[in-house]
Amino acid sequence: MVKTLAVIGIGLIGGSFARALRAVGSVEHIIGIDTDPVNLAQALALKVIDQSAASLAEGVAQADLVFIAVPVHSISTVVAAIAPFLKPGAVVTDGGSVKDEVVKACEPLMPAGTSFVGGHPIAGTEHSGVAASFAELFTDRRCILTPTSATDSGALKLVSDLWGAAGSRVEYMDTLSHDRVFAAVSHLPHMVAFSLVHAVNRSAEEEENILAFSAGGFRDFTRIASSDPVMWRDIALMNRSALLDMFDRYTLEFTALRERVAAGDAEWLEEFFTTSKRLRDSIATR
């Protein structure tokens, strides 16, 4: 399906994409590019890639498809750096978890005759690096593509077909809709968990028993507060607008709840908690 694939950032996501396409025979030759020489050498040793490239320019020169799997903050910088070296007809796609700012920044950087397609595979593990990658990471997981009016239909079909070949269920969403969805179901919950850990730690400074009792349900509930700080810094900054909107929606609910607890409003509280349970249980069965 693709003769030469270049993967920039050959870690968990980039490495798994390469492995998945290789496994189904959708690619002939894979070139890897990575800022970490140890990781890059490992990708070669593991035969995840056929060839490593010393520079972005060299890496993308022969590529029919370029997959950018670097931190979301660096995607447009990478696109700016590779743009002059892309061959005519080349398609560039990414795996960033914020889409509007990324796609808006990347599209104007693309030379005539090349195409950019925004993407976000909904998959991951708590591990990172090429050694953690595996061909089945995307199996039955969703991959969202975010075409715009500027997106070439042939390029979109190619990227869609490749994610399908990698095992994903491909869905299309506009960039702003994507960012609102993930602000709600992922980015806000992370902000809540990060804040909760800080608040409980502050109270533990006055009440030493708190830390001793935080090893139970609290530890499970705040598992996502253990996520990579730099990744979440970048997501918070790059999906700022949709995230601030969710901050405010959440604050409305939380403030209302605080007021009703303070007022001792038993009826309101039972109704609020009952609705929470019903909504959450309906999510669980979808």
Span 152-211, contacts to a second copy by CB under 8 A = 173, 177, 180-182, 184-186, 188-189, 191-204, 207, 209-211
Q: Which stretch binds a second copy (CB under 8 A): 44-52, 92-100, 161-169, 228-236?
A: 228-236
Residue placing its CB nearer to a second copy in the complex, 47 or 277: 277
**Residue 149 is a binding residue for a second copy (CB under 8 A):** no
Question: Could you tell me the CA-to-CA distances from 8 to 33, 56, 194 in Å, in that order?
Answer: 5, 8, 30
What are the backbone dihedrals phi and psi of residue 13, each rounded to the nearest 5 degrees, phi first? -75, -50
Given 36, 57, 61, 272, the residue binding a second copy (CB under 8 A): 272
What is the nearest approach in angstroms of a second copy to the Cβ of residue 262? 6
**Residue 112 is a binding residue for a second copy (CB under 8 A):** no
Question: Could you tell me the CA-to-CA distances from 110 to 80, 86, 116, 281 in Å, in that order?
Answer: 8, 9, 7, 45
Residue 149 burial class via C-beta count within 10 angstroms: exposed 0-12, middle 13-18, buried 19 and up: exposed
Q: Which helix (H) or strand (E) holds 115?
A: strand 115-117
Residue placing its CB nearer to a second copy in the complex, 123 or 159: 123
**Residue 148 is a binding residue for a second copy (CB under 8 A):** no
**Residue 213 is a binding residue for a second copy (CB under 8 A):** yes
How many helices (H) and strands (E) are present in the chain, helices listed first?
Answer: 13, 9
Q: Which stretch binds a second copy (CB under 8 A): 108-116, 132-140, 147-155, 212-220?
A: 212-220
Q: How many residues bind a second copy (CB under 8 A)?
A: 85
Buried b / exposed e over 154-192, threshold 16 CB at 10 Å, is: ebbebbbebbebbbbebeebbbeebbbebbbeebbebbb
DSSP-assigned letter for residue 216: S
Among all chains, which residue has been given the structure tokens 């996520």? 227
Instruction: Return the bridge partners of 66, or none.
Output: 6, 92
**Residue 104 is a binding residue for a second copy (CB under 8 A):** no
Given 81, 105, 122, 132, the residue binding a second copy (CB under 8 A): 122
Alpha carbon distance, N-terminus to C-terminus of the chain: 34
**Residue 105 is a binding residue for a second copy (CB under 8 A):** no
Q: Which stretch binds a second copy (CB under 8 A): 22-30, 45-53, 157-165, 273-281?
A: 273-281
What is the nearest approach in angstroms of a second copy to the Cβ of residue 17? 19
* Subset of 55-94 contacting a second copy (CB under 8 A): none
